[in-house]
Structure 1
Amino acid sequence: MEYLSIVTKIVLVISLGWYLITNLQWYNYKLARVIFKHHKWQWHLTFFISPIVLFFLIPSPYFDIYFFVLYFVSFILWNRRLDRSLVLTSRVKRFLTILLITLFVQISLCLNDDFCARVTLFLTIFIALIISNIIEKIFFLILKSRAKRKLLENKDLKIVAITASYGKTSIKNFLYHVLKNNFKTYKTPRSVNTIVGLVLDVNRDLPKDTQIYIAEAGARVKGDIKTIANFLEPQIAVIGSVGEQHIEYFKTLENIKNTKKELLLSPRLQKAFVHSSANTVLSEKIEEFPNNLHIVKSNLAGLWFDMELNGKVEHFYAPILGSFNAINLASVVLVATHLGMSVLEINEAMATLPQVEHRLQKIEANGKIIIDDSFNGNLEGMLEAINISSTYIGRKVIITPGLVESTDSANIILAKQINKVFDFVIITGTLNANILKANINEEKVFVLKDKTMLETTLARTTKSGDLILFANDAPNFI
C-alpha cells in the first residue's frame, strides 16, 4: 500500500503540473490571467482544486481508488477533447523536468515522515513554477540580447511594425505579398506578435540578408507594444483599425488607443501610417489614413476600391473578400509607395494576392460554398462576412461562438444581423450561447457544446448548394 501511495502522489503532482502548464500556455504564461480571466473556472475546480482538497480529506487507499478510477480517467478524457492541447515546447519540457526533480527531492526528504510528505507535497508545483520562471527570464534576456544584436548588425534592414485591434495579420500578409518581388522580404509566421515570439523569430528564422522585416505587435496590457517598439525599433509603423477588441483587459477604448500608439515611440521611427480611429496627433512623420477611400464594389469575386495618392485618385483591385479589407490594403499601398514602389507595381502584385487562410477564405467543396472566417473575431469584420453571405442566393448556415473578449451589446448587434441573413445557426460553446439565442429565432438555433461533434453535425444539417460561414472560432477553453 505504501508503494501505491507514493505512485499516486507522483502521478497526482504530474497531473496537476500538466494542467497548470497547459493553462499557462493558453494564456501566454501569465498566472494572473489563468486565475482571474479564465472562462472555464469549473475546470480549475474539477482538475486542480478538488484533488488537492480530497487528498487531505480522504485517507489512503480510498484516495488512491478515487484518483485512478475517477480523477485520472476524467483528466485523460479532458485532455483528449481539447482542441488546443499542450504543445511540448522546450519551455514546457523544462518545467516538467524541474517539477519531477523537485518532487523526487520532496519524496526523499519526507520518506519517513507522513506529515511532511502530505503537507509539503503540493509545494513542489509552486517551487517548480518559481524556479522555471527564473530560468525562463534568464534565457529570455540572453536571447533578447542576441536578437537585438542580430537586428543591429544588418545596417540595411528596414523594419515595418504593424499593430491594430483587428486586421494586423491580414495587413502583414498583404504587405509581404506586395513587397516580396521588389525586396528581400521576411514576415513573422502565423500570428506571432508578442515580445517573446518576436525574439525567438529573429534568432531562429530571420535571414541575415533580409531587406524588409514585417512584424506584428500585439498587446494584452499597457506597455506591451512599447516593449516591442523598443526592441525592434521599426523605421515604419502601421496602426490599423482600433476598436473594443480585448476590452476586458484594457477596460476602456481610450486605454486600447493609447496602447496601440505606443508603437510610435520607436527610437528610429521615420514614417507612421495611423488609422483615423486611433485619434493620433499628426506630424511630418505621422500620416493618417485612409485618405478619400472609396469602395467601388465588394462581393464574392473580390474587392475594388479607389484612394487618393499624392493628390491623384488611383484605382485598385484585389481578389480578397470583405469591404473592410480596403482599409487594410490602403495601408499596404501607403507603405509600398513610401518604399518606392509605383502604383503599377502595387496593382500588379495586388491582383495576385492569395486569400488569407481563415480570414474570409472562400472554399468550394462537395457542392457547398464555405466561407472560412474563423480567425476573424471583431464585430466589424463579422458583420461584413454576414453582409457578403447575404448576397448568396440559397440556404445559408453560420457556425459561430459569437464575439469573444467583447461586450454584450456587440453580441446583440451580431445576433440580430445573423437572424436576418441565415437560415440555420450553429452556436459553438456556451460563452455567448444565451445572449445569441435570445436574439435569434429559436427554430433556427442549434447549440453545439462539444466541438468534436461539429463535422457530424454539419454532415447531418447541411446539403449541396448551401453556403456555410465559419464566423470566428474560440478554443474550447474559452
Structure 2
Amino acid sequence: MKKITVMEIQNAVKGVLLCGNADTMIEGIAIDSREVSSNDIFFAIVGEEQDGHIYAGSAAEKGCPAIVLHNKQIADEVKKIRPDTAILLVEDTTRALQDLAEWYLSLFPIKKIGVTGSTGKTTTKEMLYAVISQKYKTLRNLGNYNNHIGLPLTIFHLEEDIEVGIFEMGMSEFGEIHRLADIVRPDLAVITNVGTSHIEYLKTRENILKAKMEITDFFQDKNKLFVNEDNDMLTKKMVSKCMQEKKKDDASYCEDFQIVTAGEDEHADFQLSHRRDLGESGIQFTITHEKTSQEFSLPLLGNHNGWNAMLAVAVGASLDISLKEAAAGLANMEGTNRRLNIEVKNGIKLIDDTYNASPDSMKAAIDVLMSISGARKVAILADILEMGEVAEEYHYQIGEYVSHKEVDVVITIGKNAKFISEGAEAASKKTIVIHHEEKETLMDNLEDFLKPGDVVLVKGSNGMRMAEIVNKIRSL
C-alpha cells in the first residue's frame, strides 16, 4: 500500500480526529486486531457475528498508531489506554472503509475492470488475470474478497506499478453492486451470466439482471460492457431493455456505452466454437474475432469454462492483447480452490466443488463428473440455499438431470436436497439414490461405501459445509 497520512484518511472518510497526530504515516489497513502492525490503521467494523469495537483496545495495545471508530464511548476508553493513538470518529466504520478505498483508488491512473454474474465470477476473474497479466502489471481480488468489505481491502493492495485492476463484485440484493461500482467506477465490465442465485430475495431473473446491471450505473459513453450472449437474459435485446428501464428510473443513466457480445452465435463479436471436453486434461475451444481464429487449451475441468474464457479474451482484446497472447496466458491457468478441483485419494478420484452452488453450476458439475473416467460415478449433493419458493422445483430438476446423465449413485444431504433424490428416482430406476438429512450420518458410512475406482463429486452451497465431506474422503 502507498503511504498516506491520518489527515488524508480523515478527509477521505469525513471523520473527526479526537486525539493523536494527523501527520502519522499509515502503510496498511486492518480489520482484525490480531493482524495489526505498527504502521496500520484499524477499522472497527461491525459484522454479522462480531463488533470490531470490542477489539479496538487490543489493537491499540499492540501498537496500532491509528484507529477508526463510530462509538464515542469506546473511543474514550481507547484514548485512556494509549493517548498518543490517532483516533478518528466517523458515522459508520464500514462506510468509512469504503470511502477511503474510493479515494485511494482515485490516486492511481489504472484501467479498472468490474466482474459480476450469477456463476463463474471468480473463475472469470482469474482468467482475466491470466490474460491481462501477459502484458500489464495487474491486481485482482484475492479469494472471495468481492463484497462491501472485501473489495475495499483489495483496493488497498494497489501499488504505484499497477496498470490494471480487476474487481469481482458479488451481491444478493438490489443496491449492493451499485455501491461497489460507485467505489470502483469501472472502465470495462463483465457479466458472466444471469441464473437463479439469490432468487429468494430478488424473486425473478429479470430482477437479477437489473441488479447485475448496476455495474454500469456509473458508465459513460466511452465504457464497455461484455456479456455472454448465449445466456438468455444477456442477449442484446434483453440488456438493451434493461438499460431503457434503468433510464426511466434515473435520467442521468448513460445508455450510449458499447455492448460487446461473446458466444456461440455466429453474429457474436467474439465467437466461441469447437468446444471439446477432454475430461481430466481440461478443455479445448476456438475463438474467432474479426476473421482471426485461435485455438485454446485450458487446463480446467468443465466445458462450461469456454464461456468464461471467451469473456476474458474479449476484454483482453480491448486492451490490445492478441488472441495468441490470451491463449498463452490461459494455457498456464491454475484451478481455484474448491471449484471443480480434482485429486486422487486411495484410488478414488475426488472432485471438490464445495465453494458454492446454484442450479446451473450443479448441472455443470454433473457434466464434469460424467467426463472423468472411472468405475462408478458418485454425486454427493447438498442443498442449494437462497432459492426461496422455487427451491423444490429447481432441486427436483437437478435430480432429473442426474438420472438423465446416468450417474451411478446420487447421495443427497439436507432439507431441499431430498427433492433431488425424488427427481432422480422419478426419472430413472438405474441411478442408486440415497438421502441423508444430516451429513454426519453419511460421513460415518463413507469408508464402507466408497471404493477404489470411484469418481466422486461433492457439491452444495457454502452454508452446507460440504468441505467436511471432502476432508473425510481425503482421510479414508
Q: Normalising by structure 2, what TM-score? A: 0.68
Match in the other structure for 2:189 = 237
Alignment of 1:412-427 (within 5 A): 412-420=396-404, 421-427=406-412
Pairing 1:289–2:251 present = no
Shift of 1:167: 0.7
* Alpha-carbon separation, structure 2, partners of 1:473 and 1:462: 23
* Alpha-carbon separation, structure 2, partners of 1:354 and 1:477: 24
Shift of 1:250: 0.2
Shift of 1:455: 4.6
Match in the other structure for 1:280 = 239
* Counterparts in 2 of 1:463 and 1:437: CA distance versus 1, 3 Å: same
* Alpha-carbon separation, structure 1, partners of 2:377 and 2:465: 28
Pairing 1:258–2:210 present = yes
Match in the other structure for 2:168 = 216
Shift of 1:138: 2.2
The correspondence for 1:138, drawn from 92, 111, 135, is 92
Pairing 1:225–2:177 present = yes
The superposition leaves residues 91-142 of structure 1 with CA deviations (integer Å, 9 ceiling, x where unpaired) of: 67469999xx99xxxxxxxxxxxxxxxxxxxxxxxxxxxxxxxx88522233
1:195 match: secondary structure: coil
The residue identity in structure 2 corresponding to 1:287 is: V
Match in the other structure for 2:473 = none
Match in the other structure for 1:171 = 124
The residue identity in structure 2 corresponding to 1:324 is: H
The superposition leaves residues 325-367 of structure 1 with CA deviations (integer Å, 9 ceiling, x where unpaired) of: 1111000001111111122211111111112222221212211
Q: Are the aligned partners of 1:154 and 1:209 in contact in 2 as well (CA < 8 Å)? A: no
Q: Are the aligned partners of 1:237 and 1:263 in contact in 2 as well (CA < 8 Å)? A: yes
The residue identity in structure 1 corresponding to 2:455 is: L
Q: Higher Cα Rg: structure 1 or 2?
A: 1
Q: Are the aligned partners of 2:195 and 2:360 in contact in 1 as well (CA < 8 Å)? A: no
Bigger fraction of residues in helix: 1
2:355 match: secondary structure: coil
Match in the other structure for 1:151 = 105
Report the number of matched residues.
358
Alignment of 1:175-214 (within 5 A): 175-203=128-156, 205-214=157-166
Pairing 1:318–2:298 present = yes
Match in the other structure for 2:424 = 440
Shift of 1:425: 2.4
Bigger fraction of residues in strand: 2
Shift of 1:475: 2.2
The residue identity in structure 1 corresponding to 2:101 is: A
* Counterparts in 2 of 1:180 and 1:91: CA distance versus 1, 3 Å: farther
1:347 match: secondary structure: helix
Unmatched 5+ stretches in structure 1: 1-27, 31-85, 103-134
Shift of 1:236: 1.0
Unmatched 5+ stretches in structure 2: 1-45, 60-68, 74-88, 241-254, 467-476
The residue identity in structure 1 corresponding to 2:165 is: Y
Match in the other structure for 2:224 = 271
* Counterparts in 2 of 1:383 and 1:267: CA distance versus 1, 3 Å: closer
* Alpha-carbon separation, structure 2, partners of 1:335 and 1:476: 35
The correspondence for 1:299, drawn from 259, 262, 278, is 278
Aligned CA RMSD, in angstroms, stands at 3.0
Shift of 1:241: 0.7
Q: Are the aligned partners of 1:299 and 1:388 in contact in 2 as well (CA < 8 Å)? A: no
* Alpha-carbon separation, structure 2, partners of 1:244 and 1:467: 28
* Alpha-carbon separation, structure 1, partners of 2:313 and 2:211: 25
* Counterparts in 2 of 1:456 and 1:307: CA distance versus 1, 3 Å: same
Match in the other structure for 1:40 = none
* Alpha-carbon separation, structure 2, partners of 1:95 and 1:413: 53
Match in the other structure for 1:362 = 342
Q: Percent identity between the aligned chains? A: 26
* Counterparts in 2 of 1:476 and 1:375: CA distance versus 1, 3 Å: closer
Match in the other structure for 1:346 = 326
Pairing 1:468–2:451 present = no
Q: Are the aligned partners of 2:116 and 2:212 in contact in 1 as well (CA < 8 Å)? A: yes
* Alpha-carbon separation, structure 2, partners of 1:453 and 1:355: 31
* Counterparts in 2 of 1:423 and 1:267: CA distance versus 1, 3 Å: closer
2:239 match: secondary structure: coil
The superposition leaves residues 438-467 of structure 1 with CA deviations (integer Å, 9 ceiling, x where unpaired) of: 223498333344435655432221011100
The superposition leaves residues 299-334 of structure 1 with CA deviations (integer Å, 9 ceiling, x where unpaired) of: 312111122212333322211111111111000001
* Counterparts in 2 of 1:150 and 1:474: CA distance versus 1, 3 Å: closer
